[in-house]
Chain A
Amino acid sequence: MAAEVYNKLTMLRWASPVMLLLLAIPVGIGLLMVLLPAFGFMPAIGGYEFTLAHWRDLFGVPGIVRSILLSLLAGIVTPAIALAVVFLFMASASATGLDRWVRRFVSPLLAIPHAAAAFGLVFMIAPAGLLARLISPDLTGWDRPADLLIVNDSYGLAMIAGLVIKEIPFLLLVAITVLPQLNPAQRVSMARSLGYGPSVAWLKMVAPGLYPLMRLPLVAVIAFASANVDVALILGPTLPPTLSVRLLGWFGDPDLSMRFMAAAAALLQLGVSLLAVVSWLLGEKMVSKFYRLWVRSGNRLGGDSAIFFLGRTLLPAALVVIGGSMLALFLSSFSLSWRFPHALPASWTVQHWVDAIPGMGTPVFNTLIIAAVSTTIALVLVVGSLEFEQRSDRKQSSAMWLLYLPLLMPQVVFLFGMVVFAEFFYWQPNLWLVIFGHLLFVVPYVFLVLSEAYRRLDPHWSQLAAALGASPSKTFWRIRIPLLLAPALSAMAMGIAISASIFLPTQLLGAGRIATVTTEAIALASGGSRSTIATWALLQSLLPMLGFLVALFVPKILWRNRIGMQEG
């Protein structure tokens, strides 16, 4: 059959190469275009020769070492805490229905944009935040906000907390997605029959197999945490801020000659993120040595109840913090007067929302357009390449990891280079450039969500359809798409959520001229009133949430009379 069938596949055959090139080339060019100005070469602004002068300037900047250390710290501590919380939870929830229950919550939580979660955390933990109000003045004796630097603390702890509560749902989703490959129930019951406690059994039998499958997503977390801008702008230290925030400032400086130092800083940022990854991998070696000793010790029950307790408290606590943050935003956005120790506003108003409406039009429109177009393109490419993989019965190409390149690199670095590249050709910042930038992040997540489901679909369905005389396209539209509707909608919701929440691609490729809900919300971070910030942060979470609601309820309604389609 080979020749004839193959010809029909030519269109589909292009999906994965196009997708990979679309992602890898801009990242490659972006990195290159940081390299040149970092060493002084950028004719557009008068850099004609290579020099190390900008590096000397960079290292002469006061507080630069501290900025570097802050980024490094966030890059290593964030994944460590998030991973520990996730593993402890999964150990404590092994062999219960709990993970199914949590799975339902995870996607909507993932949908909350980083910036909104960060704002929410501010409203929760700041000296005048919800938490302080709940325990004041009874426990604290405060009848006015304490003069404490809780948010924007100089060690970046608040920033790390903000990152951790957002990375926990992400790592949890990854873990739940890959877990079935490991037959966890079987491993745990085997160990339990040997007398191991359930949580210890999970940590000793399942975790060592699960960790390697999570290494790549963890590198993505390290890259993000060590170089993030939006959370750092809201929760991070200010004197000095993290390296990423500073380099963004230099990049946006009206004095164009600062660009050279910004480029050097971007390259330095790449080095710092790389260092964080390398440190993580070295740390992994050490930890695994001790871990193996513990696994082999044969200790069957030691710590089981402690693990159980921690697992059942830490992760729910993180979820409560996210929930509380959203509640704090909600209260603030409707409060008219809310004096300090009061837990609830004394009077309510919709005025903040009414006031925001005139300014919403353009950002909401831009957000929707960018999300819709980038998600549609991503879905076509991802489904096309998965469908080709199916029809041609090929193994996944080893080049597929390139897909995750934009997530494994610090965004700020290659986006910076892409802007330099665009300026090189005098491309004006425009919507398409921004959409393209979003695509770099939407495609990997859409692929992440959809590929497992696509490959796991029982091949018998398609074989049966073909045997009944259905052409490949009839099989695709009438059988595969309906059977995969729920994961396809989840992938779509994920794409929309990612697009609606990312800040840097819009900010950099749109040169600040294309306003989305996210860029507007973050612009309020310095100087907006509390209620305005709360209103915009909520608005920012609302759009992705809508996508996930659609993904959750459309299949439920559509298949309400189909027993076989429930609980996919």
Chain B
Amino acid sequence: MGVREHILELQDVCITLNRQAIVEINRTIKAGEVLTVMGPSGSGKTSLLAYIAGFLGSAFQASGRIVIDGKDVSELPAEQRKAGLLFQDPMLFPHLSVGENLRFGIPQGDTNKQELVMCSLQEIGLAGYADRDPGTLSGGQAARVALMRLLLSRPRVVLLDEPFSKLDATLRSEIRLQVFERLRKAGLPTILVTHDAADAVAANGQVFQI
């Protein structure tokens, strides 16, 4: 995979709920950088990510532009924005095998899908797991598969919604390290939503407080 540098700009983004602005943000996130968003529960962190990814609920109004690599994507449907997502749970599709989960996001044009899946399983130490039921993976394994699935879909930006909050302490720092390292290597601008100050420190980038 050749690394392309991506850049995410949030220009005068303002999200309103019941005529009340809940989030206002104006930032640029360069390739490999992580913007940490912090704020109390219910303050609109998830809504900000939903707006960027392209599925803000109809209860909200939003203005401003989301610009990825110089192009305004604010009007594009979610599947064309290429914003990779990680949630609290790894959310591996329960009806697909581990390999099929990885395959799901690989862009249409790729001919060597099978090979890609095998290589990436090897990379995360899960060689031979392609046919496994995702329900049988441990928390750490599932988290790594979810990250790999995201990377294989070749996103241009990455949005993380409290992705480490359900992991126990030891696993947490390990996975966190892996995630940031890979995202940085892939040159992806990232937004991280978290409650944990340690996450912000590890992210080692700008912090935005709602």
Contact = CB atoms under 8 A, between A and B. Distances in A.
Contacts of B133: 561-564
Interface in B87-105: 87, 91-95, 104-105
Contacts of A559: 95
Q: Interface on chain A toward B: helix, strand, loop, or mixed SS?
A: helix
Interface string A77-119: 0000000000000000000000000000000000000000000
A461 B91 contact: yes
B153 interface: yes
B134 A564 contact: yes
B149 A463 contact: no
Interface string A163-199: 0000000000000000000000000000000000000
Given A393-B57, A460-B87, A564-B134, A466 B78 contact: yes
A453 to B, nearest CB: 15
Contacts of A466: 53-55, 77-79
A469 interface: yes
B83 A467 contact: yes
Interface string A539-563: 0000000000000000000010111
B95 A467 contact: no
A463 B135 contact: no
Given A467-B53, A483-B95, A562 B76 contact: no
Contacts of A394: 58
A282 to B, nearest CB: 39
Contacts of B91: 460-461, 464
A466 B149 CA distance: 13
Contacts of B75: 1, 4
A459 B93 CA distance: 13
A150 to B, nearest CB: 52
A148 interface: no
Q: How large is the interface on B (under 10, 10 to 19, 20 to 34, 35 or more residues)?
A: 20 to 34
A466 B50 CA distance: 12
Contacts of A471: 79
Contacts of A468: 84, 104-105, 149-150, 153
A482 B95 contact: yes
Interface string A458-480: 01110111111111100100110
Nearest to A566: B135
B82 interface: yes
Contacts of B104: 465, 468, 470, 478
Contact of B58 (A393, A461, A470, A563): A393
A30 to B, nearest CB: 37
B78 A463 contact: yes
A216 interface: no
Interface residues of A, number: 29
Nearest to A463: B55
A297 B92 CA distance: 51
Contacts of B93: 461, 465, 479, 483
Nearest to B54: A1
Contact of A4 (B77, B105, B136): B77
Interface string B103-135: 011010000000000000000000000000111
Given A466-B79, A471-B79, A478-B104, A565 B149 contact: no
A10 to B, nearest CB: 15
A44 interface: no
A312 B135 CA distance: 37
14 contacts: A1-B75, A4-B77, A463-B53, A466-B53, A466-B55, A466-B79, A467-B53, A467-B78, A467-B84, A469-B82, A469-B153, A478-B104, A483-B94, A483-B95
Interface of A: 1, 4-5, 393-394, 459-461, 463-472, 475, 478-479, 482-483, 559, 561-565
Q: Which 3 A-B pairs have the closest CB atoms?
A: A564-B94, A563-B135, A468-B105
Given A466-B78, A467-B81, 13 more contacts: A463-B85, A464-B91, A465-B104, A466-B54, A466-B77, A467-B83, A467-B85, A467-B153, A469-B105, A469-B153, A561-B133, A562-B95, A563-B136
